[in-house]
Amino acid sequence: MQTTTANKSVFDVKDLNLWYGSFHALINLNFSMYKNEVTAIIGPSGCGKSTFVKTLNLMVNMIPNVHMSGEINYNDKNILNKKIDLVELRKQIGMIFQKGNPFPQSIYDNVAYGPRIHGIKKKKQLDEIVEESLKDVALWDEVKDRLQSAALGLSGGQQQRLCIARALATKPEVVLMDEPTSALDPISTLKIEELITKLKEKYTIVIVTHNMQQAARISDKTAFFLNGEVVEFSDTNQLFSNPSDKRTEDYITGRFG
């Protein structure tokens, strides 16, 4: 498992284990995610990849009967420590879900939602944040004339980009994406992929994907999950061209999964 990087690590996962009740869902995970890189998590359904990404912002705590052991060090601070401030953590770590989930409010209010509640009241400052966030996701030109109309009136791909803008508006450092294109058509998917490549200049991205071509296209590092374990973690090019584990090879050549 060798990786090459000049960047500093944002997440260091050490001996992470997670149980749903008595089911051991994540087993002894050890790997790191680096600043301004895209880390892809691939693997068959039920292998724990969504669970893993939800541990990074502790959304996993919403599920009853979950317990964890080990460490997840975010900027050298263990977030599994009980004293962690969830509000602060989730402000820094944005999350995008499988299906675009805008609030039933206007486009503007969706993007301004996080900053407003986190204390930004000035209209001018909010306007700037909204514009900047929508430009970041290449949605500004499509919606600038109808910022006050309903977000739910947008197309699926636009809704997903709006959700990304909403997450960016709180100025996060990391953006977690849980199969962000699985409900989208190929053109919208392409737009999101282009967006991810651009976003990594400013943000660190962890993306769960079902689609191996997608992982190969957009990520710098890839972790292959199987039955709750990380089978292989390395540079994306290497993992796809020269996998070191037989199971990785079987998976990426389509022999199972």
Partner 1 sequence: MNSRVADRIATGVLIGLATIIVVLLVGLFSYILAKGIPNISWSFLTSPSSTVQAGGGIRDQLFNSFYILFITMLITVPLGVLGGIYMAEYAQPGKITHFIRSCIEMLASLPSIVVGMFGLLIFVNTIGWGYTIIGGALALTIFNIPVMVRVSEDAVRSVPSEQKEASLALGITHWHTIKTVLIPAAFPGILTGAILASGRVFGEAAALLFTAGLSTPKLNYMNWNPFSETSPLNIFRPAETLSVHIWEINTQGIIPDVEEVANGASAVLVLSVLLFNLLARWLGSTIHKKITASK
Return the residue of 29, 134, 143, 166 that touches partner 1, per CB under 8 A: 166
d(CA 119, CA 110): 15
Least CB distance to partner 1 at residue 147 (A): 10
User: 51, 170, 219, 222: which one contacts partner 1 (CB under 8 A)?
Assistant: 170
When binding is defined by CB under 8 A, the residue of 13, 163, 205, 223 that contacts partner 1 is 163
Instruction: Find tokens 């997450």 and name the residue.
Output: 167
The Cβ-side half-sphere exposure at 78, using a 13 Å CA radius, reads 11
Tell me the C-alpha distance between 248 and 257, whole Å: 11
Q: Nearest distance from residue 139's CB to partner 1, in Å?
A: 16
Residue 34's alpha-carbon distances to 49, 62, 200, in angstroms, are 18, 26, 11
Site residues (CB under 8 A) for partner 1, limited to 18-57: 57
d(Cα 108, Cα 86) in Å, to the nearest integer? 25
Q: Which of 187, 192, 170, 169 is nearest to 100 (CA)?
A: 192
Judged by CB under 8 A, the residue of 69, 81, 101, 241 near partner 1 is 101
Member of 27, 68, 152, 183 binding partner 1 (CB under 8 A): 152
By CB under 8 A, the count of residues binding partner 1 is 36
H-run or E-run covering 230: strand 229-235
Answer yes or no whether residue 14 interacts with partner 1 by CB under 8 A: no
Interacting residues toward partner 1 by CB under 8 A: 57, 59, 62, 86-92, 94-95, 97, 99, 101-107, 109, 113-114, 117-118, 148-153, 163, 166-167, 170
